[in-house]
Structure 1
Amino acid sequence: MTILLFGGLYIGLRFAFGLFTPYNFWSAGQDIKNGKIQIVEIGEMPLNFEQKQKLANSYGFNFYLFGCNVTTDIINGTEYYNEEMVDHLESKFGAGWWIKFRNQIDSIDKAETEQTETPTKRLSFKNISEIVADNSYSTWVKLQDSSASLALHFQYKDTLAVSYSPECWLMFPYKLDENKIVVYWDNNIDTKYNFDIVKAIKHTDKKFLGQPFMILELENDTTFKATYPMKELIRKNLMLQMMETDLW
């Protein structure tokens, strides 16, 4: 009976208040005491993250991006964690500061929206060789999700650059195989922050290095069709789960 009681108490505290997870009201108090002031965000990395981070830094705190694959207990705990942090910041900058700060964030988002709504030239290609030509540059995003943060960039010779954010780039070698682009797995990362996607790549088994993990073919003159031959790698890797799509 005692075991059941403590088990129920543990589950209740964990899922209702986020206790025993990295972010909750208790851990917020400890972080504040240690001078680690941050607001935890859940979701994909926004393209204007660096601008938001600079704004946060001007008030002496950081945004920390937790990622998308989170459980209910972490979501609940994060809410309590952030409430403690906001209370601390308002005690420093005055009541109503958080509303003022959120308005500043909204202004950044609005500027980003206006910029992305500016018409851009849609490129078309007759064949694969045009895409990988030395003087060619093109960017490809998921067709089913125009807000997705991952994008494919053909701008370097024999290297596919995948952007997660302006501060996080992943580099993969590729080879042209007749009418296909075969992309090979690598752990070459240029990043400013240790995102979940970066951690996932760093912890991927080294046996996959140099193995073909994505094959790109032209579906039509503006669309890639992608196939992923290494299902085991996709199951174990967060980045590939985010990338996996039929069309770019």
Structure 2
Amino acid sequence: MSFASLTVAAFAQQATSPARGVGVPSAQGSVRLEELTVEGQGGSPARVLVAREDPRGPIDGFVAKRTLTSTKTDTPLIETPQSISVIGRQEIDAIKPQQIGEIINYSPGVYGNAFGPDTRFDFFQIRGFTASDTGLYRDGLQLFNFGFGSYKVDPFGVERIDILRGPAAVLFGQGGPGGLINIVSKKPPLDPLRYIEVGGGSFGQKYLGFDIGGPADADGHWFFRLTGIGRQGG
């Protein structure tokens, strides 16, 4: 089994005084700057710019603060009326999974690998309803499964996973009442990234993964990321 993906992104140059919500490149992705009004010296109001989590980018730690999946807008999780869980890259690395089902099993109401580990398919249920046929999305686009013809996403190329519980047909169209899973791909980094991972085990198991990216031009407008992994075993 092998997997590879290539993503390219372009960032505008940072303005002298960024406006509310402007995107600025960072070492991990696109950082959102938000203008807040705070109490300054002498009690007078002062405006400051603070970094805000990108709902399509990396999560600092295990706890996410924002998501795009619940409303298809950049919304804080605390203001989202629907039940949603977000699993970031750091938590995925801590789990060390080989399949998506091994990641989502740690979320409430979700049952991954419903028929046991399978190298061909990812079967999962949300709130007791089968969701692997119409409830699998990648970067907001449906990966429709039908007649045992399905997509299998390797965790190596995943930045975060959003699990939305409950009906969501108003935003996503046809789907089950249990909910859906939106897999967010890794985004190009600002700083050069060169990563290689190899491993092996019993029964002839071996794999090779690579993750490279960074600036694609001298001016720092274009960035890329190439991620791939191949596995083989008995």
- Taking structure 1 as the reference length, the TM-score comes to 0.24
When you count helix as a share of all residues, which structure comes out higher?
1
Q: Which has the higher contact order (CA 8 A, sep 6+)?
A: 2
When you count strand as a share of all residues, which structure comes out higher?
2
- Taking structure 2 as the reference length, the TM-score comes to 0.25
The structure that has the greater radius of gyration is: 1
